[in-house]
Structure 1
Amino acid sequence: MSLLFRSRQQGASQVNISKLQRFVMFWVHNVQQALASLGELLRYPLASMMTMAVLGLSLTLPATLYVVVKNTESLGADWQNAAEITLFLRKDLTQQEVDTVHKRLSLSSAIESVRWIDKQQALSEFKEQSGFGDALAALQQNPLPDVLIVTPVAAQRSAAAARQLLSQLQQEREVAEARLDLDWLTRLEAILAVIRHGLSALALLLCVAVVLIVGNTIRLNINSKRDEIMVMKLVGATDAYIQRPFLYTGIWYGLVGGVIAWVATALIIWWISGTVAHVSELYQSQFRIEGLNFSEMMVLWLVAIGLGLLGSYLAVRKHVRTIEMT
């Protein structure tokens, strides 16, 4: 019984060792094939770099457009958060009534601040800036009303919340008219939605183009090694073992292509950032264009690797199996 038990233990340990060896050798073979595919690419550096550059530059355009849309959305959000409501008060209000509505609105929890523009002050500024001072001097009454500029609190500065506050302020007895100029922002959001959909379609087309280019390159590589693949099949190599180096070639294409996309996108953003800064200074703004952050760069890199792997996978699945042993 003891001999039988020991033999069973030895057999189990041998099975465990063989499984461990197979697991280790699997990864050793993968590393060897990955390095071999890299060496194959280095044998033809010009052709390899051209394929990698096509992959990287194809991803540069959607990446750059994404940066532009992202910055435009952030700029629109800043403008939207700076929304102000203009209240034109009734002309027959007394000074005391104007002071009363001013103080009442200032105490509202939905309003951050209320700025009062006196109608006499507004008329004086209009005379100076309009160039119609003599004509306005002939007026017997001031045609301008008192104006209150209402700035909502941060929670009320979105387009929907600001419109709701506008409808509430319009119900005030002292208010003759209230305005909130957000129509242009709505149009901007609609334009951005069109750009986003166009960007998605363009990115999809370019990704398909990258897959086709990588797949065609791998197909040519497979055809050039047709005799070598046939010999490997004769000695018992599996399709998975034969396909692996070509899959790693697609991964190398994606790795380097992703870096090229990073660099090209950063150069384009750097090129246009000077012009954007100049325009911002003309409008007395501190806006600066922001490029890809680290997580977005990682996503771009993973997309490039995924496209390279997908293109190579489609090519090897179709063409390696068609090579029959003779």
Structure 2
Amino acid sequence: MNHNRPETSRRETAEPKLRSGASTAGITANDRLRGWLLHHREMAAEAWRRFMAAPLSSAMTSLVIAIALALPAALYVGLANFQQAVAGWDGQPQISVFMDKRARPQALQQFAGKLEADPLVAEVQEVTPEQALAEFEAQSGFGDVLDGLQENPLPTVFLLRPASANQAELETLAQRLRDSALTDSVVLDVAWVQRLAQLTALAQRLLLGFAALLAVGVVLVVVNTIRLHIESRRDEILVVKLVGATNAFVRRPFLYSGFWYGLTGGLVAWGLVMLGLALLSGPAQDLAQSYQSSFELRGMGVTTMLLLVGGAAILGLLGAWVAVMRHISGIEPR
């Protein structure tokens, strides 16, 4: 009886060691993360292989996405170039002050000094009658007719650039100038500035609406494409679900397929826009030179290109997500 006690004690001391060894051999969080990342990499590679295995259908789907994305992208680039073209114009309104022809030169000088000291006036430019007549003669081509005039009919004009574009301050300044005894007429040229700002705002709103509409179209194209992929692999999905695969496991390759469709479509859209700009740059430069302007068409910057391609990839991913959430859960083994 006493000889059996050491064996029992040895068994009792051996059991806790066996349990501690089993606990240290478990899967850690790092192992799970590593396996999760490895599976995502494999699914991304598999989706790309399937994408390249059907080049014609993949290219057609990517081209449809590219055309839908290239249209708003081209409009955006066109609007940016338009804003660049008008950036050289004076964005501030201008006030033209036509002086009374009977005003003496000394009075005109004092009036100009008051204008320069006015806090509502940022810049004053004087156009003398001789300068105005010479400019009119150069632009109109009526030099022979103007030479027959006995005296210069044009008055002195002060061109004012207001310090502020506030409508109330502009009206106050213009009314104060009209009340002066030395002025004959005051013209507040602010309508074209307001119309240009309103036109730009309208174009931006239309661009946003058009882009949103075409983005929905891109998502629907990807949804339909991924739905066809799911139906073609229904038997494969049933088999992997029979062995215990979850919906998250099954939908990953389809999500990556949508990602690749969007990414390639965005790259093709960028190429189409740049090709169009290359074809238009020559005629646009010739037109600018005819107006003695140094304007040149500008393409997409790196940031805009990344936004286009990244947004396309996100739209493809979103379309794939909608497709798999709607169809994967309905495929269950019986």
For Structure 1 versus Structure 2, the TM-score category normalised by the shorter chain is 0.7 to 0.9
C-alpha displacement of 1:210:
0.9
CA displacement, residues 249-281 of structure 1 (integer Å, 9 cap, x when unaligned) = 011111211111111111112222222222211
In 2, Cα distance between equivalents of 1:5 and 1:182 = 90
Q: Is structure 2 residue 227 aligned with structure 1 residue 219?
A: yes
Contact residue 229 and residue 242 of structure 1 kept, 8 A:
yes
Letter in 1 for 2:215: C
C-alpha displacement of 1:118:
2.3
1:171 corresponds to which of 173, 176, 180: 176
Contact residue 163 and residue 180 of structure 1 kept, 8 A:
no
Contact residue 259 and residue 317 of structure 2 kept, 8 A:
yes
In 1, Cα distance between equivalents of 2:120 and 2:216 = 50
Structure 1 SS opposite 2:97: strand
In 2, Cα distance between equivalents of 1:22 and 1:122 = 82
In 1, Cα distance between equivalents of 2:224 and 2:291 = 50
In 1, Cα distance between equivalents of 2:21 and 2:254 = 40
1:131 corresponds to which of 133, 142, 149: 142
Structure 1 stretch displaced more, 6-15 or 63-72: 6-15
Letter in 2 for 1:31: R
CA displacement, residues 230-250 of structure 1 (integer Å, 9 cap, x when unaligned) = 111111111110100000001
2:66 corresponds to which of 32, 40, 56: 56
Counterpart residue number, 1:21: 31
Structure 1 stretch displaced more, 196-205 or 100-109: 100-109
Contact residue 99 and residue 184 of structure 2 kept, 8 A:
yes
CA displacement, residues 105-128 of structure 1 (integer Å, 9 cap, x when unaligned) = 345566554332222553466567
In 2, Cα distance between equivalents of 1:11 and 1:80 = 79
1:195 corresponds to which of 178, 203, 207: 203
Counterpart residue number, 1:149: 159
In 1, Cα distance between equivalents of 2:218 and 2:63 = 11
Q: Is structure 2 residue 243 aligned with structure 1 residue 235?
A: yes
In 2, Cα distance between equivalents of 1:50 and 1:161 = 53
Counterpart residue number, 1:295: 303
Q: Is structure 2 residue 312 aligned with structure 1 residue 304?
A: yes
TM-score, normalization by structure 1 = 0.85
C-alpha displacement of 1:189:
2.6
In 1, Cα distance between equivalents of 2:135 and 2:46 = 78
Structure 1 stretch displaced more, 188-197 or 105-114: 105-114
Q: Tell me, which stretches of 5 or more residues in structure 2 are unaligned?
A: 1-12
Letter in 1 for 2:49: G
After TM superposition, list the pairs within 5 Å mapping 1:278-289 onto structure 2: 278-289=286-297
2:193 corresponds to which of 185, 190, 200: 185
Letter in 2 for 1:114: V
Counterpart residue number, 1:259: 267
In 2, Cα distance between equivalents of 1:138 and 1:20 = 95
Contact residue 92 and residue 193 of structure 2 kept, 8 A:
no
In 1, Cα distance between equivalents of 2:136 and 2:265 = 60
In 1, Cα distance between equivalents of 2:232 and 2:50 = 13
Residues 223 and 125 (structure 1 numbering): CA distance in 2 closer, same or farther, change over 3 Å? Answer: closer
C-alpha displacement of 1:20:
1.8
Structure 1 SS opposite 2:67: helix
In 2, Cα distance between equivalents of 1:295 and 1:235 = 46
Structure 1 SS opposite 2:331: coil
Letter in 1 for 2:207: L
Larger Rg: 2
Counterpart residue number, 2:3: none
Q: How many residues align?
A: 318
Q: Is structure 2 residue 100 aligned with structure 1 residue 95?
A: no
Residues 266 and 162 (structure 1 numbering): CA distance in 2 closer, same or farther, change over 3 Å? Answer: farther
C-alpha displacement of 1:151:
4.0
Residues 250 and 124 (structure 1 numbering): CA distance in 2 closer, same or farther, change over 3 Å? Answer: closer
TM-score, normalization by structure 2 = 0.83
In 2, Cα distance between equivalents of 1:163 and 1:301 = 45
Residues 290 and 121 (structure 1 numbering): CA distance in 2 closer, same or farther, change over 3 Å? Answer: closer
Structure 1 SS opposite 2:296: coil
> Percent of counterpart pairs with the same letter?
35
Counterpart residue number, 1:104: 114
C-alpha displacement of 1:206:
1.1
CA displacement, residues 119-150 of structure 1 (integer Å, 9 cap, x when unaligned) = 255346656746385588466x6543211223
CA displacement, residues 157-199 of structure 1 (integer Å, 9 cap, x when unaligned) = x6x2488356425414233322243322322332333322222
In 2, Cα distance between equivalents of 1:166 and 1:297 = 44
